[in-house]
Structure 1
Amino acid sequence: MHHRFNTQKIITISSPLCLLLLWEIFSQMNILDSRFFPPPTLILQTLWDMAESGELFKHITVSLTRILFGFLLGVIPAICIGLLMGMYKFMKYTFSPIIMIFMPIPTLAMLPIILILFGIGEFSKMVTIAISVFFPVAINTAAGVANIDQIYVDIAKNYQANAKDFFFKIALPGSLPVMLEGIQMGQAIALLTIVAAEMIGATSGIGYLIWMNYKAFLLPEMYVGLILISFFGYFFSLVLRGLERKLLPWK
């Protein structure tokens, strides 16, 4: 078993490395057009240069601040509304139609309205992320409460548990596994949304970095932006998986 796990680890690490090596060789030999696919070594050198000049950290800080506050702005109300929808039929019938109306609309299609309401400052970008994150988390949280084993609900009723106890001791822990899946989906959507939002209406951030360098045909710099997005997507995913292991040791 241990041997198989090691083999899987080796394959997992070596497959992207092999891809990068092939890219490097093909780009150096001009089998791949190096204007469009600069060799990975050049991209890494560009990343290093941008990090040294401090330009990179400015964009990273701006994007991460937007993501963090936008994420919290979306996740906290989503969890509260999701729990209430799962616990009370009245809340379910109130919020379900609103969610069903707005959920299919891509967040970026709502960007003009967000800009009209909140202007072109930082807050509008946070709201854009918050809206995109809200729906998967709210729906998954409500589904998580609905999936709680009926026996726990019956016990709570028999012991006449008050709403606060039911909320914190049954609804919240019981919905956690499905809720965390929603949060995991939400973080992926947050990254997609911030990149697109920064491409459209920003003067800083990773999305802006990608778009402006593409327009200026500075492709190594553009690839640096893509690497950053890939890295943060993977990093956030690992953080949430770690959180899941802490909160749900039985899983």
Structure 2
Amino acid sequence: MRAARDRRVLLAQASAVLGFFLLWEGASRLGLADPRLLPPPTLVLPKVAELLADAGFRRHLWVTVRELLLAGVIAAPLGVGIGLALAESPYLGRAFKPFFHFVAAVPKSVFLPVFILLFGIGFGQKVAFGVFQALFVLVIATAAAVAAVPDELLRLARANGATRWQIWTEIHWNAMLPLILEGLRLGMIFNIAGVIFAEMYVSRAGLGQRFSTWGESFRMPELFAGVLIAAALSIIVNETLRALERRAGAWRTP
């Protein structure tokens, strides 16, 4: 039953993707959209293969991947640690949770000029801005994960003589991990968006720098091909973390 349902879901998803590309192709070929501004997929998809085969483009792609990975490695423990501190300390929670919620609601792009002034336009600035984009999502998700631990499980563990360490490792961590991974998944999406945006704003290398150059020179097939590659990168990251999230939360499934 579950396998059949999964196949239907995959079929529906594949149909939606195919329908999107067919509509895109039709809009461009039938003149509903200017093909100079919206080149058809039959022109864009070969460009994807050309870009991936180009050593220069792969160097730009690798710069972006390195920035994303380093930003994720920094943001994950930092965000989880701050979130745990805010959730476990009533004083810190009351004092600083409103600050994180406030900044999370502000578009982070307005802070990019500050990061350029502080870090310049090199590799470190992109990493710092990626961390900044992901951090607030992770802090809020971790604090929410601590609050979501079922009280009945904690009472049962204490009634059976569990130590504080056992409660944390066997109950708190297992209950929190799916929500923390969900926060990490969303944070990585913000990280990707932030790094590429910073590269588009001012950079000497990276996917965003390529996007900016192609847009300024009106090379639309390359621009759309690059966007598809960036979208594929985001999907890979999202689905990998989603799989880890499902696995960590498997104990909750009847």
Is TM (by shorter chain) over 0.5? Answer: yes
The answer to whether the Cα contact below 8 Å between 1:133 and 1:189 also exists between their aligned partners in 2 is yes
Unaligned runs of 5+ in 1: none
**8 Å contact kept, 2:199–2:208:** yes
**1:78 to partner: Cα distance:** 0.8
What CA deviation, in whole Å up to 9, does each residue of 1:99-123 have, x standing for no partner?
2343233222112222222222211
**How far apart, in 2, do the equivalents of 1:19 and 1:66 lie?**
31
SS in 1 for 2:36: coil
C-alpha displacement of 1:74: 1.3
SS at match of 1:69: helix
After TM superposition, give the deviation of residue 199 of structure 1 in Å. 0.8
* Counterpart residue identity of residue 193, structure 2: L
In 1, Cα distance between equivalents of 2:46 and 2:227: 15
Tell me the C-alpha RMSD between the 2 structures.
Answer: 2.3
Q: Secondary structure at the match of 1:203?
A: coil
Cα contact 1:136–1:182 (8 A) shared by 2:
yes
Q: Secondary structure at the match of 1:127?
A: helix
Give the AA of the match of 1:161: T
Structure 2: state its 5+ residue gaps: none
Superposition TM-score, scaled by structure 2 size: 0.87
What are the Cα deviations for residues 55-82 of structure 1, in whole angstroms up to 9, with x where unaligned?
3211211111111111221121111111
Query: Could you tell me how far 1:161 is from its partner in structure 2?
Result: 3.1
What's 1:59 paired with?
Answer: 60
Match of 2:187 in 1: 186
Pair 1:239–1:172, CA change in 2 (3 A) = same
Matched residue SS, 1:36: coil
| In 2: Cα distance, 1:16 partner to 1:216 partner | 29
What is the total number of aligned residue pairs between the two structures?
250
Deviation at 1:20, TM superposition (A): 1.4
Partner of 1:40: 41
Q: After superposition, what is the alpha-carbon deviation per residue over 1:182-238, rounded to whole angstroms, capped at 9, x for unaligned? A: 112112211221221111121221122222101100000110121012111211111
1:161 matched residue in structure 2? 163
* 1:49 alignment partner in structure 2: 50
Distance 1:151 1:24, change over 3 A: closer
